[in-house]
Amino acid sequence: MFWKTRITLTLYNIGVIGAILSLIALVIFMKSQNFLYHAENKIEDPVTFFHRSFMIILTSLILIFLGGWFISGKALVPIKKAWQKQMDFTADASHELRTPLAVIQTNLELIMGNPEETVESQTKWLENILIENKRMTKLVEDLLTLSRADANQQTLDVSSFRIDKVLDQAAESFKPLAKNKFITLNIDTNKKISFIGDQSRMYQLIVILLDNAIKYTDAGGKVTLALKQKEKSVVILISDTGEGIESEHLTKIFDRFYRVDKARARNIGGSGLGLSIAKWIVEAHHGSIDVRSYPDQGTHFTITLPYGQ
Ligand code: ADP
């Protein structure tokens, strides 16, 4: 489907390169005519002259076309990549939405099939609908965040705040979950550090990483959240002693919808968008996010954020 664009680009290139080359050819031609006229006081035989000119023009046109075709091919590479990414994203999003919709449909059919039953006796089906509906709402919210980020419409609500308090709040909300899973949650956020950025996005970032750390760590494991201060930046460390990630997956986990084990991640509520959003939040704050992981030993995320905007 890109061949039409490529031909259009090639024609543009031909126009531009052709115009430049024609100008150069014209100058050379005029100079050579001038030279012949003055030096030998005669002009070339018109038939030979036209034959030669025709061959030169034809060769130039072929070369210009090939050059234009090559340049337009190169120019299209990033466009093709972006297009493919967009297509994959749409396909993945539709696929992800299809599953909860199918579950909702099936459960509704079960309820509708037994109209004489009480609401109480149908609680199981209603709960399934509720869970899938929540999952779908979260998915749509995440998709909206990412598509707005792509379109540069997702602006940050910047203010000055205590980042240590944000980390504490996020960690607090995970204490019951960690306790239920018999995971020790270590919080090392003693330093009072002021930061300029988007407070709710920072909270969301920590929630995504803590949620993953607890999700992918078994009972008896440890999750640590630490905050460190450097001269020009704050460093947030989130590490766990969980299942870890094989090195072949490490570069892909920030890609949209990427999950190491799709079926398992879905069962524990993962859509594969969390780390893409985390990366966007960090980059929107001009920071960086790094991951180190060792299978069966654990995963360590390091976020470095420069002070202020
Ligand atoms: P999900 O919603 O599935 O957790 P994410 O984008 O947050 O999606 O993470 C992508 C994938 O990276 C996960 O499906 C999981 O396979 C892997 N992952 C992320 N964090 C961890 C972690 N702390 N330990 C092990 N695997 C992780």
> Nearest residue CA, atom 16 of ligand 1?
260
Identify the top-confidence range among 44-48, 92-96, 286-290: 286-290
Compute, in angstroms, the gap from residue 121 CA to the centroid of ligand 1.
Answer: 36
Q: Which two tokens stand for residue 127?
A: 């709960």
133 vs 97: CA distance, rounded Å: 10
Mean pLDDT of 13-25: 74
Q: What is the pLDDT of residue 262?
A: 76
67: how many CB neighbours lie within 10 A of its CB? Answer: 16
pLDDT at 219 over 90: yes
Residues 4, 144 within the same domain: yes
Over the stretch 177-191, which tens digit does the pLDDT of each residue have? 999 999 999 999 988
Q: What pLDDT is attached to residue 43?
A: 58
Q: What are the tokens at 201?
A: 């996005």
The pLDDT score that the predictor gives to residue 37 is 52
- Token pair belonging to 145: 């965040």
Instruction: Tell me: do 57 and 205 sit in the same domain.
Output: no
* CATH code of the domain containing 175: 3.30.565.10
Residue bearing the bigger pLDDT, 239 or 59: 239
What confidence tier does 33 reach under pLDDT thresholds 50, 70, 90?
Answer: low
In this model, does residue 107 exceed pLDDT 60?
A: yes
296 and 228 co-located in one domain:
yes
* Residue 292 pLDDT: 97
> What letter would DSSP give residue 26?
H
The enclosing domain of 138 has a CATH number of 1.10.287.130
Domain holding 40, by residue range, is 1-154
φ, ψ at 46 (rounded to 5°): -60, -35
Number of domains in the chain: 2
Q: Considering 128, 154, 180, which residue would you say is the last residue of a domain?
A: 154
Show the ligand 1 pocket: residues with CB < 6 angstroms.
Answer: 208, 212-213, 216, 240, 242-245, 253, 258-260, 265, 270-276, 299
Task: Give pLDDT, residue 14.
Answer: 74
> How many angstroms is it from 212 CA to the middle of ligand 1?
6
- Asked which of 103, 136, 154 is the last residue of a domain, the reply is 154
What are 138-176's pLDDT values in tens digits?
A: 999 999 999 899 888 878 999 999 999 999 999 999 999
Are the beta carbons of 212 and 245 closer than 8 angstroms?
no
Residue 227 and residue 199 share a domain: yes
The atom of ligand 1 lying closest to the CA of 262 is 14
> Model pTM?
0.78
Collapse the DSSP code of 146 into the 3-class scheme (helix H, G, I; strand E, B; otherwise coil) and give the result: helix
